[in-house]
Amino acid sequence: MKPLGLSRRAPAWLEDCVDSTNLVLRRMADEAADGTAVAALAQSAGRGRSGRSFLSPEGGLYLSMLLRPQLNASELPTLTAVAAVAVCRAIEALCAVRCGIKWPNDVVLQGKKICGILVESIWKDDRPCAIVGIGVNANTDAFPEELREIAGSIRQLTGQTLELEALAAALIGELDRQYELWLAERSAALAEYRARCISCGREVLVDGRRAMAEEVCEDYALLVRYDDGTRQAVRFGEVSVRGLYGYV
Ligand code: BTN
């Protein structure tokens, strides 16, 4: 593995291709320090949310970071939100765009998903540890037919080609910063997350049921109001947004 040469508390490597950067860190979790990061230029078995696979061709950047906070499982969603804010900031530091977040953690540009985030938790020595995995469609040139409506790359949408090692460094730097803030105060990223969240004020489908997304709660749940007037704070599950990703 090639070190990224960053000056920080834990090692960070760049690989040409791995099965999944989340899996690489899972295998290293016994010895790896808090903050250890692995980036790859392609993945052969990228993992997505809800047991799906995540297409990971060359042109994208795939990065995972191992975190060992004092955490109980119910706080994981807040870490996911923090990662989404960090990704937006890292991308915006490298190109002149404004990124949004589709709740809970897709990073969106011009209505297309440019990044997916998967946070997985494992137990080590009676302590939970989180693997934050980030897949950015940076310079990806083509998507299969079924993803064309949903996904886009930064290069397709802006014409700008990103230097992937610089993107890895920016992502790690922003994750480090946001993680520090989160350790001190769990709601540190809340105001920014709310400002970036494009789901609020729009019609959504919550596991297939129509509702209005009203606001992001203190714990980053999405408060929705169903057609019959009942409200629910959604913490898990699929939420599609009307007008986005082909939900019309
Ligand atoms: C999703 O949108 O479904 C989440 C996708 C998360 C993909 C990233 S790429 C880096 C890390 N390694 C993986 O195998 N998955 C995550």
Q: Position 67: which residue type?
A: L
Q: Using CA atoms, how far apart are residues 12 and 184, in angstroms rounded to an integer?
A: 23
Res 125: pLDDT: 75
**Count of all residues that appear for the chain in the document:** 248
pLDDT of residue 198: 95
Which pLDDT score is estimated for 215?
A: 97
pLDDT score for 13:
97
Burial pattern 51-61, b for ≥16 Cβ within 10 A else e, equals: eeebbbeebbb
pLDDT score at 248: 61
Residue pair 93/156 in contact (Cβ under 8 Å)? The answer is: no
Cα separation of 107 and 169, whole Å? Answer: 18
8 A C-beta contact, residue 54 and residue 122: no
Residue 46 burial (C-beta neighbours within 10 Å; 0-12, 13-18, 19+): buried
Residues with CB under 6 A from ligand 1: 20-22, 43, 46-49, 52, 54, 62-64, 116-118, 133-135
Give distance in angstroms: CA of 111 to centre of ligand 1.
19
**Mean pLDDT per 10-residue section of the chain, whose length is 248 residues:** 93 98 96 96 96 96 94 80 97 96 95 96 83 98 92 97 98 98 93 97 93 96 96 89 78
pLDDT for residue 54: 96
**C-alpha closest to that of 25 among 71, 66, 80:** 66
Give the 3-state DSSP-derived string for 219-245, with helices as H, strands as E and coil as C: CCCEEEEECCCCEEEECCCCEEECCEC
Looking from the CA of residue 50, the nearest atom of ligand 1 is 3
Do residues 178 and 85 lie in contact, with contact meaning Cβ atoms separated by under 8 Å? yes
Indicate the top mutation candidate among 25, 26, 62, 150 to test ligand 1's pocket, ranked by most ligand atoms within 8 A of CB: 62
- The rounded radius of gyration (Å) of the Cα atoms in the chain is 17
Contact 8, 172 (CB under 8 A): yes
pTM of the model: 0.95
Per-residue pLDDT at 128 = 81
- Probe target for ligand 1 pocket from 27, 54, 107, with the most ligand atoms within 8 Å of CB: 54
Kind and range of the H or E run holding 93: helix 76-94
Nearest atom in ligand 1 to the alpha carbon of residue 47 is 14
